Amino acid sequence: ERARKIIHMYEEMGIDKSRILIKLAGTWEGIQAAKILQKEGINCNITLVFSFLQAAAAAQAGAYLISPFPGRILDWHKQQGGKEGYHPDADPGVLATKRMYAFFRKYGYDTICMPSSWRPSRGADVVGSDVDEILALAGVDEMTIPPALLEALMERDGSEVTKQCDASSDAATCCDPDFKLTKDGFEGY
């Protein structure tokens, strides 16, 4: 109901709802709210996406975009006894985000994959590692990149930025089935 009120408020000011993105948490309830709002033409961003199941459920609900957090996924793996540093191509957050992106492209979901929340894959003590995840996900639909990391990217040689995500080739490598999630399956994971 709150999202509809916000949309109405903006429409009264002459701002079309197509210019507004409602941000919802990647919980089952948030994703189901997005399903309803998307059917009403209200675009939603499912945020706080840490797992493939959240991403799949959001795509199946018709969410406009998701915001996976590769840096926080990496943090979790480190806290669970994972290594202190990873090659960017082996970074658990990068791998999770690539899996989400590949799933969307393989099954024709229109949901945009827009990662944010970045960490240095190789470790904070490695010079230049602050943009590891950004470089490893170059080519994904969109990214949210804070000013400090944009500055770090600008200081690099342009040849260091190469396309790492490609809709066609990533879709071809997706091994996940297009299963339909239920609330029990989602929450039981």
User: Catalytic amino acids?
Assistant: 23
Tell me if 39 sits within 8 A of 62, measured CB to CB: yes
Residue 126: φ, ψ to 5°: -95, 120
Residue ranges of alpha helices (H) inside the chain are: 2-12, 28-39, 52-60, 70-79, 92-106, 132-136, 147-154, 167-173, 183-188
For residue 113, count CB atoms less than 10 angstroms from its CB and return exposed for 0-12, middle for 13-18, buried for 19 or more: buried
Tokens standing for 23?
A: 């941000």
Per-residue exposure over 60-81, b if at least 16 CB sit within 10 Å of its own CB, e if not: bbbbbbbbbbbbbbbbebbeee
Tell me if 103 sits within 8 A of 137, measured CB to CB: no
Tokens standing for 149?
A: 């990391």
